[in-house]
Amino acid sequence: MPLSLQDLNPNEINDWCPGCGDMGILLSVKNALIGTNADIHKTVIVSGIGCSSKLPHFVNVNGIHTLHGRAIPFAEGIKLANPELTVIIDSGDGDTYGIGAGHFVSAGRRNTNIKLFVHDNGVYALTKGQASPTLPEKRKVKGIPEPNINGALNPLAMAIMAGYTFVARTQSYNVKEATDLMIRAIRHNGLAVVDILQGCPTYNPEFTNMEWFGQHTKPLPATYDAIVKDPSNVSEVNQKKLQALNTLLGETADNMSTGLFFQWENPDTFEDRLRARGIQPPANADIADQNGHSTVNMDKVLEDLAV
């Protein structure tokens, strides 16, 4: 039986504020799972802490709501333990680009086949709307007494530089585009990030509503070709990265593009690198013989760990 919305959240339960963009993202995630014909027993959604990070509770797949800023290492561990799983992270901009920034950058060096869907609302919403790392300088939101004194990070330019092999942006109220990019990210063999500009009507109502996104974002031109055709051609890879960086760095906070900026089906994932060293995923290891007797030798495990 094909997967349906009914299978993924029969009661449509969530506890976000009315109009919250997280609901559009939730619908897009569910659509993307249906669109990729996901096996709900082999799908895991990982999150950190924040309003956005509640998402795993609202989808009927395996889920883990971890620590603030730590979704990426949990997700990497899950994927390496059992590469058969589809591992998706749903976390906030604060969680991913603030407290989790070190993990965000380091993940690029590994290219583990996991997917980051970042709910980018410009604020730490769960803790009452302080400025997040993507809130532009001089922008005033409800949770800060004066306009933002810090400049904003450019997370997708950071992702390109760090080594992410699929880099895209969309917005929470464009469920069609978000679903499409999520499906492509899930099908991509490698580390993918989709930054999702997200409406927070409670703490950032002025700059994250449907009308504002409609006026200040536009799809990348149809002529923009994000995909590396020959994965082994370093100069093509670099040319496509430069194209993405030029586009991202040429944007302003009031004029942003949505769509796929860069994709490189780099065959060298972190799973491949471990396999090349003869390291097998623990989930594939034999743990018992035909009679059900344990074959695990703890002495050997402890010996391997000794320094």
Where along the sequence are the contacts to ligand TPP (CB under 6 A)?
Answer: 49-52, 68, 92-95, 119, 121, 123-127, 132
Q: How far apart are CA 235 and CA 251, in angstroms?
A: 24
Among the listed residues 204, 178, 259, the one whose alpha carbon sits nearest the alpha carbon of residue 19: 204
Positions in 36-65 near ligand SF4 (CB under 6 A):
51
- 131 belongs to the binding site for ligand SF4 (CB under 6 A): no
Positions in 16-35 near ligand SF4 (CB under 6 A):
16-17, 20, 22
Q: How far apart are CA 75 and CA 73, in angstroms?
A: 5
Strands (E), the chain: 43-47, 62-65, 86-92, 115-120, 123-124, 130-131, 166-171, 192-197, 217-219, 256-263
Q: How far apart are CA 80 and CA 235, in angstroms?
A: 30
Residue closer to ligand SF4 (CB basis): 125 or 167:
125
Minimum distance, C-beta of residue 170 to ligand TPP, in the bound complex (Å): 16
Minimum distance, C-beta of residue 91 to ligand SF4, in the bound complex (Å): 12
Residue closer to ligand SF4 (CB basis): 93 or 180:
93
Positions in 130-159 near Mg ion (CB under 5 A):
132
Q: Which of 31, 91, 202, 269 binds ligand SF4 (CB under 6 A)?
A: 202
What does the DSSP 8-state code read for residue 191? -
Q: How far apart are CA 167 and CA 157, in angstroms?
A: 9
- 125 belongs to the binding site for ligand SF4 (CB under 6 A): yes
Contact (Cβ atoms closer than 8 angstroms) between residue 172 and residue 21: yes
Residue closer to ligand SF4 (CB basis): 21 or 259:
21
Residues that bind ligand SF4 (CB under 6 A): 16-17, 20, 22, 51, 121, 125, 200-203
